[in-house]
Structure 1
Amino acid sequence: MLLDGTLPASIARAVQALARGELLGLPTETVYGLAANADDGAAVARIFSTKGRPSNHPLIVHVADRAAAGHYAASVPDFAEKLMAAFWPGPLTLILPRRAGVAEAAAGGQDSVGLRCPAHPLAQQLLAACAAHQPPIRGLAAPSANRFGRVSPTTAEHVRQEFGDALLVLDGGACEVGIESTIIDCTRGVPVLLRPGVLDLAALARACGQSILSKEELPTQQPRASGTLLMHYAPQAPLRLMDARQLQTALDLLGGEDARIAVWARTPLRAASSRVLLQPMPDEAGAAAHALFAQLRAFDEAGARLIWVETPPPAAAWDGVRDRLQRAAAAP
C-alpha cells in the first residue's frame, strides 16, 4: 500500500509498522529501500527472505546523523569523521568497525557495519520519528527494495510492482540520484573504495585529506558490502554493452527483422526495424544515473527481448553508471 509522504499521519503509521517488526518501502535520494529496524533480528531476517538475498550479504544501516552512528560504530577514524562532515546527509556509505551486540543480522555475520545518513527529507523525518519512538528505533537496515540481483527501484510504484500492495511504501516521489551510494571501507586505516556512486573521488579525497584507494590497490581481506557482487542490477532481458560503432553495425545487420531490441545510447543511431526501441541516454553522467534504473525497467515493461546499451565514457564521473551497467551485463 502506498502512503502519501506529504501527510504527517503517514510517518506515524510507518513508524508503528517498523516498531511491530514489519517491513517498509523507504524513499531515499539514491533508490527506494526495503527497511526494517536494524536492531530487530527477526525483522531483518524478513528483509533477506522477502528479497531472496543471501543472509551473509550485509545490509546498509541508515541513521539520522553522526550521533546516531555511534550506536553502531565501535570507532570512527578521523578521515571517516571528515567524510561524514562533508557528505552526510548524502549518498555515501561508510564501512566501520561494528559495536558488539548491535545490528548483527544486518551485518551479515561481520564485525563491521555499513552506515549511511540519507538526504531525502522523508527519510530524515522518518528516522527522527523512529528515534523519538519508545523504545527508540536507532537505525533502519534498508537494501534496495527489489528482488535480489534485479533492477533497483527509483519510484514508489516500482516497489509496489515488485512486492505488491501488502507492503507499506512511503511515497516520496522519484529518487533524485537514481543509483546506490558510494561505499568507502574505513576499517583498514585508509579509505578504500568498494563501490562507486555519483560522488567525485577527488572531492572525497579532498574532504578526508588523503587519497581514496581502490580495492585493487589494497587487495587484502575486505568486508563484504552491498551491491558489490559481479552480477547485480539486472533487467529481465539480457543486457549487452557496446560502443557506438558496434551498436550501429548490429542494428544494420538486423535489417527489418522483428527483433524486439531496446537500445539506450548517447550517440544518434538508425534502425531499419520499427520494433527496435531507440532511447537517448543523457550526455551528462548525473542525468544518466538518475534515468538508468527507470529506463531498464521501462525496457522490460515494453517487452524487450534484448537490451543494448552504449558503453559509458571512461571519465571518472561515469564510474557509478558504468559499474551498474557492467554488473547488469554480467547476468546470465
Structure 2
Amino acid sequence: MPAIHDCADPASLLEGVRAARTAVAAGRCIVIPTDTVYGIAADAFSHSAVAALLAAKGRDRGFPPPVLVADRPMAAALAERIPPEVEALLDAHWPGPLTIIVRAQASLTWDLGDTGGTVALRVPDHPIAIGLLRETGPLAVSSANLHGMPAATTAQEAADMLGDRVDVVLDAGPVGGPVPDGAANGSTILDCSTDGVVRIVRQGVLPREAVAEALGDLLAAE
C-alpha cells in the first residue's frame, strides 16, 4: 500500500508534500485532495507518468486526463488562448469545480492522450492541491478510482482502490459535498475550444444555472 500522510498534522503534511514532490519528479503517481474528489496525479509533461496514470485507472489514451494548475497565469501558459468571453465565469468559479477545455499551446512537448490538440484545465479550490501545484507545476489529474468505480471522497478509499499504483497519498479528510441530482461527483466540464459557443460536456457539481448566469447566450442549449 502507498504511504498515507495525515495533512492535519503539520509534520506529516510537510513530510507528505516533500514525498509527493519527489514522487512526481521521479515520474510516479500520487493521490491529492481537491475540492470535489481525490485525484490521482502525475507530471503532465512526462509521457511515461501520464501513461502510468491512465494504466492505474484502467483507462486508455481515449480518456486524456485534465490538467490542474495553481492559478490563471499557469493556465494561460498552457492554452493557445483563454476565450475572453469566459473570463467572468473564471472570475466567479476559479478556484472551484469548473474545468474548461481549450486549444493547447502547440509548442508544448507533452502527451496527454488523444486530445485533438486541446487541454482541459482547472484550478482546484483546495489549499493543499494549490500549494503542491505551485511547487510541481501543472499536474495531469483524474479522479482517484478505478475505471467504472465511484470517485473517492476519502484518502483511504483512493488508497484501497489504487494500492501500489500510487506512491504517496495526501490525506486531507473527506472532500466534496452534496451532488445535484443527475450530476457527476466532480467538476463541471465546459468545451470552450470552438469560438462563439460553449458546451457543457459533463454536468458536475457547478450547476448549469451558474454557468448560464456568466455566459448568457454563449452557452449552447441542452
Q: TM-score, with normalisation over the residues of structure 2?
A: 0.87
**2:118 aligned to which of 112, 115, 126:** 112
Q: Is there any run of 5+ residues in structure 1 with no aligned partner, and where?
A: 131-137, 218-332
Query: Which residue does 2:171 correspond to in 1?
Result: 171
Retained in 2: the 8 A contact 1:160–1:167? Answer: no
Shift, 1:209, TM fit: 4.3
Q: TM-score, with normalisation over the residues of structure 1?
A: 0.59
Query: Which residue does 1:162 correspond to in 2?
Result: 161
Shift, 1:200, TM fit: 2.4
Letter in 1 for 2:66: I
Name which structure has the greater RCO, CA cutoff 8 Å, separation 6+.
2
Q: Secondary structure at the match of 1:57?
A: coil
Q: Secondary structure at the match of 1:71?
A: helix
Q: Secondary structure at the match of 1:175?
A: coil
Task: Find the aligned partners of 1:147 and 1:57 in 2 and give their Cα distance.
Answer: 13
Task: Find the aligned partners of 2:111 and 2:7 in 1 and give their Cα distance.
Answer: 29
Task: Find the aligned partners of 1:109 and 1:76 in 2 and give their Cα distance.
Answer: 17
Task: Find the aligned partners of 1:203 and 1:24 in 2 and give their Cα distance.
Answer: 32
Equivalent positions of 1:10-159 (< 5 A) are 10-102=16-108, 104-130=110-136, 138-159=137-158
Q: Secondary structure at the match of 2:5?
A: strand
Q: 1:54 to 1:107 in 2, by over 3 A?
A: closer
Shift, 1:70, TM fit: 1.7
Q: Is there any run of 5+ residues in structure 2 with no aligned partner, and where?
A: 180-184
Larger radius of gyration: 1
Q: State yes or no: 1:200 paired with 2:199.
A: no
- For the aligned residues, what is the CA RMSD? 1.7
Q: Secondary structure at the match of 2:34?
A: coil
How many positions carry a matched residue from both structures?
208
Retained in 1: the 8 A contact 2:101–2:191? Answer: yes
Task: Find the aligned partners of 1:97 and 1:61 in 2 and give their Cα distance.
Answer: 13
Shift, 1:211, TM fit: 4.5
Letter in 1 for 2:122: R
Task: Find the aligned partners of 1:163 and 1:198 in 2 and give their Cα distance.
Answer: 24
Q: Secondary structure at the match of 2:78?
A: coil
Q: Percent identity?
A: 38
Shift, 1:103, TM fit: 6.5
Query: Which residue does 2:182 correspond to in 1?
Result: none
Task: Find the aligned partners of 2:27 and 2:117 in 1 and give their Cα distance.
Answer: 24
Equivalent positions of 1:217-228 (< 5 A) are none
